[in-house]
Amino acid sequence: MKYFWILLLVLVGCVPEPIPLEIDQAESVMVVSTQAIPDRGIVMILTRSFSALSDGSEGAFSQTDVQQYLVKGANVSVTYDNQVIALQELSAGIYGSIELLQESGKEYSLNIIDAQEGKTVTSKTKFVDAVQLNNASAQIDRQETTSIWLRLKFNFNDPIGKNYYMLNAYVNPAPPDFQGLLSGFGSIEGGEDIGGNTTGGPPSSGIPGLSNLFSDFSASWVLNDEGRDGQQIQEERIIYNIDVVPNDVVLFTLSNISEEYFLYLKAREKSASAIPFVTEPVSLPSNIDGGYGFFALHYPVPIVVELR
């Protein structure tokens, strides 16, 4: 027993004194997220980055905390074909335009002047050809555990050459009244419902852009044509434990996206599933000069399906 106490005293004596650390907080920069709206234009969300060391709330943010990271009063414009399209501020941190046309092969330049910080953020991207969905279906699958799964199936013809895609599914979408918003009327919360009567499902955190702002629930996936170049691509996705009922509506959108945006979205997926202090940190790529995020333009081809 006496040897135990001797060993304990030796170990205690070996404990080093704490070393004070001073870590500089990362500079706050603008974060850009874009969402293309079929046949309507573009919506852009502008926020500010913050250091994990700058907030003592341990991840609990109040509405006041969120408001301080929204970029307000910015001058946002997109230039293409010698045209300058100004995006209007629809709500705090949210900018949009119904004048921006998505035209294949053209280069689009983004310019943002942050009035609050006196900084400028720029980026460039090219519009990729749209790819049409042949058909899509959505089926309610009731499990023995009383949970409900939603099975989504879709197919499309892949053009020759390397292609990358993003599929979005929105349950009971209610697209915003952009014309009303840009005229000073309407609400960013969504316009006329396309249909459906569900109470909504669990929130989805993996959606770039507007997430569930205009629908009860949304989900997103990325895929490529590796091993299927020039063929018909058929895919199935399952949304687990979701609250849906017959006559609910699912809006599918398929977007042909650039390889750079695909890699950005894949990195986001990996980052979202990372386990703190266990998995290796993920570095998100960006095409934003002077900030973070990604400026991407694509045409989301839509198909609406009613659940039975």
What is the C-alpha to C-alpha distance for residues 157 and 174, in angstroms, rounded to an integer? 28
Residue at 292: amino acid letter:
Y
Distance from the Cα of residue 249 to its chain's centroid? 21
Task: Give 185-235 pLDDT, tens digit per residue.
Answer: 455 555 444 444 443 333 333 433 344 456 778 889 999 999 999 999 999
pTM across the whole model: 0.77
Task: Give 297-307 pLDDT, tens digit per residue.
Answer: 888 899 999 98
Task: Give 112-137 pLDDT, tens digit per residue.
Answer: 999 888 899 999 999 888 999 999 99
Q: What is the pLDDT of residue 144?
A: 73
Q: What is the pLDDT of residue 177?
A: 62
Is the fold of 30-126 the same as that of 133-283+298-306? yes
- Taking the domain 30-126, which CATH number applies? 2.60.40
Residue at 181: amino acid letter:
L
For the chain, domain boundaries: 30-126, 133-283+298-306
pLDDT over 70 percentage in the chain: 69
Residue with tokens 């074909």: 81
What is the C-alpha to C-alpha distance for residues 190 and 174, in angstroms, rounded to an integer? 5
Element (DSSP H or E) covering residue 8: helix 2-14
Q: What is the pLDDT of residue 205?
A: 36
Indicate the pLDDT class of residue 173, thresholds 50, 70 and 90. confident
Greater model confidence, 51 or 9: 51
Distance from the Cα of residue 12 to its chain's centroid? 50
Q: Are the CB atoms for 245 and 201 separated by under 8 Å?
A: no
CATH number 2.60.40 is the correct assignment for the domain at 133-283+298-306: yes
Task: Give 239-273 pLDDT, tens digit per residue.
Answer: 998 888 888 999 999 999 999 999 999 988 887 66
Closest residue by Cα to residue 186 from 173, 176, 172:
176
**What pairs with residue 142 in β-bridges?**
148
